[in-house]
Structure 1
Amino acid sequence: MPETTATSTVVPVPPALGAQAERLIESGVHEIAGLTAAAIRSFAEAAEARTGGDGALLAVHPDRAPASALAPLLSHAGKPGFVVTDMTDVDLFTPLDTIALPDTPLYLVTGLDRGDRMADWSPNEALPALAAEARTPLLLTEGIHWVLQQPAVLERNHCFMTIGSRLRKTGGTLDSRTPAIWISNGTGRDGRERRDAPKVGWCWAGNRHTWLGFASAQERRGLDG
């Protein structure tokens, strides 16, 4: 197992839940999810009253708002987000069997961590380490929600993987690609016009990258959780 790398980078927490609700509405996420603006606001208000917010992320269930619809809503350096061209199956990356999502359209993700300390680990190495710490890896859609709410969480040389989402092949084995969110260099098939744009892509489960941490959370909960 690689050594954990200390970092002094301060990762910003999401804004208050009410502000997050307005951000989702402004971005049209409620329409993607088939929800009313009132429903988003009502959930945020109830969650704020019940939990105090505590730095939680307001997430929409991936069955309601898939990654392909959310990625273009991201923005960095004035460039919209995109999914890499060789990930046309991005919405087939679903939660690991070890991850139980609240059975509600909206839920909270608490105790967010970008996972900088695990930079230069492979997904195969990071996943059991997170489990041993009783932490849960973020889903791709949750990572997109985090960047949508707090764009500063995505930095050059400090981007992150979302290994809670994986693609299952015929027979149930996992595809060896693992999703991540980073900033495009505008090279190759990305195109120069996409330099500095937020990018949803993938890396091999056995490979290490010095600029990718492993985003995780403490727990997920609905209003009844």
Structure 2
Amino acid sequence: MPETTPVTSAFLPQLPALSAQAERLIELGVHEVAGLPAAEFRAFAEAGEAAVGREGRAGAEGTLLAVHPDRAPASALAPLLRRDDKPGFVVTDMPDVDLFAPAAVELPDAPLYLVTGLDRGDHMSNWSPDEALPALTKEDRTPLLLTEGIHWVLQQPAALERNHCFMTIGSRLRKADGALDARTPAIWISNGTGRDGRERRNAPKVGWCWWNNRHTWLGFASTTGRRGRDDLTVPGQS
């Protein structure tokens, strides 16, 4: 593995309460994108808060409310990102962004779920995805999906900062022959160069990097686990 100087992401601001996260997504219209009533977001967030509270984990790990990518794809979420009053965008050479699906990542069979124990993976900056994935597996962590990374930045904009951005290698594109595409998705901040355009300087950017390449400014975002509605008691549901 390449030598790195660990930069912990533990000093990021704490995620908002799940109820506040639900309201944020509703305000952005994500419930409409997902085809779900706002009340379902609120009920799930309430159940999630109760569950992590009972287990003594509220605030300890940081819990993120996520929408299943089949319900809210990256192409719909990326423009909702904001930095310096500039909307997020997907790079022009990634028109197939929504085809990047979970790879070796099990998602709850539910439209809404929780992502726990988030880490930006700063200590893996200047590693390649090929090097980072087995290290995460050894730590009993799984990489974030692209949509989960976008949800994280929507709720906690400070998670994305210059020189400390991150890859989301839980999402991969499988080609027609069954092999995985060498592109791996990431979220970073545009410099406004090339096809991005000067008007997009400092805007949040969804792009990709090669599987075997290293980047000093990209860590590897990961999670300790995911929990769906079957793991929670949602008010009004059995």
Fold-level similarity (TM above 0.5): yes
Q: 1:3, CA displacement in angstroms? A: 2.8
- Partner residue of 1:68 out of 67, 75, 86: 75
Structure 1 residue aligned with 2:216: 210
Query: CA separation of 1:187/1:147 partners in 2, compared to 1, >3 Å: closer, same or farther?
Result: same
Structure 1 residue aligned with 2:5: 5
Segments of structure 2 that go 5 or more residues without pairing to the other structure are 232-238
Partner Cα separation in structure 2 for residue 16 and residue 156 of structure 1: 26
Please tell me whether the aligned partners of residues 11 and 114 of structure 1 are also in contact (alpha carbons under 8 angstroms): no
**Percentage identity across paired residues of the two chains:** 77
Aligned pair 1:140/2:122, yes or no? Answer: no
Structure 1 residue aligned with 2:38: 37
Q: Classify the secondary structure of the residue corresponding to 2:230.
A: coil
Please tell me whether the aligned partners of residues 108 and 221 of structure 1 are also in contact (alpha carbons under 8 angstroms): yes
For the aligned residue pairs, the C-alpha RMSD in angstroms reads: 1.0
Partner Cα separation in structure 2 for residue 150 and residue 37 of structure 1: 21
- Partner residue of 1:87 out of 81, 94, 99: 94
Q: Classify the secondary structure of the residue corresponding to 2:229.
A: coil
Note the alpha carbon deviations across 1:111-154, whole angstroms, 9 max, x for none.
00000000000011101110111100000000000000011110
Segments of structure 1 that go 5 or more residues without pairing to the other structure are none
Dislocated runs of 4+, deviation >4 Å: none
Q: 1:8, CA displacement in angstroms? A: 5.2
Please tell me whether the aligned partners of residues 8 and 123 of structure 2 are also in contact (alpha carbons under 8 angstroms): no
Partner Cα separation in structure 1 for residue 12 and residue 214 of structure 2: 22
Structure 1 residue aligned with 2:20: 19
- Partner residue of 1:188 out of 185, 189, 194: 194
* TM-score with structure 2 setting the length: 0.92
Partner Cα separation in structure 1 for residue 102 and residue 18 of structure 2: 24
1:151-162 correspondence runs (5 A): 151-162=157-168
The number of aligned residues is 224
Q: Classify the secondary structure of the residue corresponding to 2:206.
A: strand
Q: 1:180, CA displacement in angstroms? A: 0.2
Partner Cα separation in structure 1 for residue 14 and residue 150 of structure 2: 14
Q: Classify the secondary structure of the residue corresponding to 2:215.
A: coil
Note the alpha carbon deviations across 1:78-137, whole angstroms, 9 max, x for none.
1000000000000000000x2110000000000000000000000111011101111000
Structure 2 residue aligned with 1:168: 174
- Partner residue of 1:59 out of 63, 66, 78: 66
Q: 1:2, CA displacement in angstroms? A: 1.7
